[in-house]
Amino acid sequence: MSRWFAVLIATLALALPRAAHAALSIVTTTSDLAAIAKEVGGADVQVTSLALHTQDPHFVDAKPHLALKLAKADLLIAIGLELELGWLPTLQTGSRNGKIQPGAAGYLDCSTLVRVLEVPTEKVDRSQGDVHPNGNPHYMLDPRQAARVSKGIADRLTQLDPAHADSYRKNALAFIKRLGKATKGWEAALAKAKGAKVIAYHKTIVYFADWLGLEVVEYVEPRPGIPPNPHHVTHVIDVAKSRGVKAILHEVYYPAKNSELIAKQTGATLVKIPGGPDLKGGKTYVQHLDAVVKQLVKIYGN
């Protein structure tokens, strides 16, 4: 018995230093937040995203090993606005980590940093589908909001790790400059797209449309979170034809069948939007947005 106890203690002694080593550990809910946290944190942080860029951020399984990642985290960065409501609270509680609970300095809800759109001004209920009662959470497709998020992350990192404050500030500045420059380029390339009428699958696209001045005339989903039915798809095809829609914006984590059908029937082009940068493939936030913009440039560009 006592021998087993000694083995257990030895195992734990080996395992503990792993958790404690060096850099600040950041966990983000989505890969776009992770990409930005990496830019801002640089060499002084270690970043993990709970959801893959191919996953619908509304419906992530609260797998226990994700709680393990949170148990070691110094900072949890979330989108907020109830996007992660169905899974993040379970993981936060399960992590037993007081540092990253709501209200603690190690929890950053990025929706407090951005300009929130679609905040309901009257009573909403779920007859409208999966509405987000505090506003639309899909702001990371707007580079202006992403810039605000990067500044907010730098501020929070400074608070948690004052020793590296200079580096965080410089990194954020460099990122914002780079993003600002890229944004100018994207806007110039898509100047002609302003006012263009598009169809989107889900309300994910609202900030993106707001940024580029696109007009979303219809959604493939009859209501947010409600899968399309043939009747509605027919309606969308009619709308697309009558309003001269040239682009169907589709998030890759939604089934593509109906969007493809609409594109085919109307001659519009399907624009595929990933849920964020492919972190494993080493992609950055700017590259991620660039890939989306390039698809639109093919349609609306000079």
Within 22-41, the residues that bind other proteins by CB under 8 A are none
Q: Judged by CB under 8 A, which stretch of 28-36, 173-181, 260-268, 285-293 contacts other proteins? A: 173-181
The CA distance from 225 to 240, in Å, is 21
Question: 82 to 111, contacts with other proteins by CB under 8 A?
Answer: 82, 85-90, 93-98, 101-104, 111
Residue with structure tokens 């009859």? 222
Contact 144, 215 (CB under 8 A): no
Residue with structure tokens 């890969």? 31
Contact 29, 50 (CB under 8 A): yes
The CA distance from 22 to 69, in Å, is 16
Count of residues of this chain found to bind other proteins when the rule CB under 8 A is applied: 93
Taking CB under 8 A as the rule, does residue 112 contact other proteins? yes
Per the DSSP assignment, residues forming a β-bridge with 200 are 219, 249
DSSP state of 51: S
Q: Judged by CB under 8 A, which stretch of 41-49, 139-147, 234-242, 289-297 contacts other proteins? A: 139-147
The CA distance from 213 to 231, in Å, is 29
Nearer to other proteins, 11 or 242 (CB): 11
Q: Judged by CB under 8 A, which stretch of 42-50, 231-239, 252-260, 287-295 contacts other proteins? A: 252-260
Nearer to other proteins, 35 or 149 (CB): 149
Smallest gap, in angstroms, from Cβ of residue 295 to other proteins? 18
Element of type H or E holding 249: strand 247-251
DSSP state of 164: G
In the list 64, 162, 267, 301, the residue contacting other proteins (rule: CB under 8 A) is 64
Comparing CA positions, the residue from 207, 233, 209 lying closest to residue 221 is 233
In the list 192, 194, 264, 298, the residue contacting other proteins (rule: CB under 8 A) is 194
In the list 65, 163, 188, 282, the residue contacting other proteins (rule: CB under 8 A) is 65
Taking CB under 8 A as the rule, does residue 225 contact other proteins? yes
Taking CB under 8 A as the rule, does residue 254 contact other proteins? yes
Taking CB under 8 A as the rule, does residue 242 contact other proteins? no
